[in-house]
Amino acid sequence: MWRSSDESIISIGEAKQSTVIIGNSFTGTYGVAVTAVKKGKATLSLYDDSSGMVICSFLIKVTDHNFISENVVEPTCTEQGYTTYICECGVSYFADYTEAAGHSYTAVVTDSTCTTRGYTTHTCTTCGHSYKDSYTDKLPHDYTTTVTAPTTKKMGYTTYTCTECGDSYKADYTLAAPTISITRSSGKPKISWKAVTGATKYYIYRSTDGKTYSYLTSTTKTSYTNTGAASGKKYYYKVKAVKVVNGTAVGSAYSNVKSLFTTLAAPTVSITRSSGHPKISWKAVTGATKYNIYRSTDGGKTYKYLTYTTKLSYTNTKATAGKTYYYKVKAVTSATSAATSAYSKAVYIKAK
């Protein structure tokens, strides 16, 4: 069995198998686990279990570890540095810690654009770690405009293009302005125009002085008769083509202006005698500047122009006594012959 001369220096552990050779002689296979407890010297002896004789002895000297610095790890931006010390017996430890160096950042500013926010990028020159901060708002677009005029087949529009980023969109859609004409329908103004591509309706504006226009009505047709227009009055008209784009009514420019003097109302004539001569009378007709008088001597079959007057009555002083005469009157304006009224109803009387 194995014994230590000083258990406070070397302690004996579990016996194990091993081969012991003393000199040139093989003596057997023995084994033991020993533990160095502290510095010092002690004799480790192997005794024969039967006779108690010492088979062999070993002087064991326990000394301090002989640590050698094997590896120095430099600090990084985020990790401490340290040194690894290793003894020849295999025991090792870490020491001589140094603080992490910390990041060394450089800053690069990325300016804002129309489409992206600006920011600053911080990048460590040592380890490459980076982060962004100091964000700035996007810049407004710097748009230039190109106007495409409407045609009879296509709507016009404005193209907005950003000079910085190239962003582009179309807006401000416009329709071609109608070209109107005007005629008379039962004495009332009738305006007409060709359909405008893209238009869903038309706004009609009217003026009585050719200067100030008011919205009158709208229509989906390509003509409009102003049946409510007063007789014997001049009206001015212009039209806009309209289309609803994204919920908003988009109107064209105004059309050309057309005007018309409405047909005068036919006078309402009465007849009496003045000193035996036929005398016809009527009330003033709005817009009339004179009145044309027509006469028939064949029972009202054939009428001929007799004369005109600016007054509201006429006495046929040259009528022959005993003869029956028929009369009709038309209201006339100096503005246009086209506005002349229809004939009044015929009246007749026998001259005396």
pLDDT tens digit string along 105-125?
Answer: 999 999 999 999 999 999 999
Tell me the pLDDT of the chain averaged across its residues. 90
**Region 305-324 average pLDDT:** 97
Give the C-alpha distances (Å, rounded to integers) separating 96 from 70, 82, 210.
Answer: 13, 5, 102
SS3 (DSSP) at 122: strand
- Integer distance in angstroms from the first to the last C-alpha of the chain? 184
Distance CA 204, CA 235 (A): 12
Instruction: Report the DSSP pairing between strands 201-207 and 214-219.
Output: antiparallel
Q: Is the pLDDT of residue 16 over 70?
A: no
What lies within 8 Å, CB to CB, of 132 at 6+ separation is 119, 120, 121, 122
Question: What does the alpha-carbon distance between residue 346 and residue 273 come to, in Å, rounded to a whole number?
Answer: 16
**Dist CA 153 CA 195 (whole Å):** 10
Task: Check whether 19 has a pLDDT greater than 80.
Answer: no
What DSSP designation does 163 have?
T
Instruction: Supply 134's token pair.
Output: 């100091």
For 81-99, what is the mean pLDDT? 88
126-135, 150-159, 213-222: range with lowest mean pLDDT: 150-159
Phi, psi of 328 (to 5 degrees): -135, 155
Query: Strands 290-296 and 277-282, how do they pair?
Result: unpaired
Could you tell me if 331 and 285 are in contact, meaning their C-beta atoms sit under 8 angstroms apart?
Answer: yes
Q: 44 with 57: CB under 8 angstroms?
A: yes
pLDDT at 28: 54
C-alpha separations of 344 from 285, 305, 340, 349 in Å: 11, 14, 11, 16
Q: Do domains 180-261 and 269-350 have the same CATH topology?
A: yes
Alpha-carbon distance of 267 to 274, in angstroms, equals: 20
Q: Residue 22's pLDDT is what?
A: 45
Q: What is the pLDDT of residue 174?
A: 86
User: CA-to-CA distance for 7 and 327, rounded, in angstroms?
Assistant: 164
Residue 156 — very low, low, confident or very high, per pLDDT cuts 50/70/90? confident
Widest Cα–Cα separation across the chain: 196
The length of the chain in residues reads 352
Q: Is pLDDT above 60 for 232?
A: yes
Residue range 210-233: mean pLDDT, rounded: 96
**Residue 183 structure tokens:** 């005629």
Q: Which residues contact 113 (CB under 8 A, 6 or more apart)?
A: 138, 139, 164, 165
Short-list 238, 234, 250, CA closest to 333: 234
pLDDT band of residue 1 (cuts 50, 70, 90) is confident
Tokens of 322: 């005993």
What number does CATH give the domain 269-350?
A: 2.60.40.10
Is the pLDDT at 57 greater than 80, yes or no? Answer: yes
pLDDT digit string (tens) for 240-255?
A: 999 987 888 888 999 9
CATH of 180-261, one of 3.40.50.150, 2.60.40.10, 3.10.180.10, 3.30.365.10: 2.60.40.10
CA–CA dist 155, 157 (Å, integer): 7
Instruction: Give the phi and the psi of residue 338 in degrees, each rounded to 5.
Output: -65, -20
**The predicted structure's pLDDT at residue 281:** 98
The whole-number pLDDT of residue 260 equals 96
State the pLDDT at residue 30: 61
Give domain limits for the chain. 2-62, 67-98, 105-136, 143-172, 180-261, 269-350
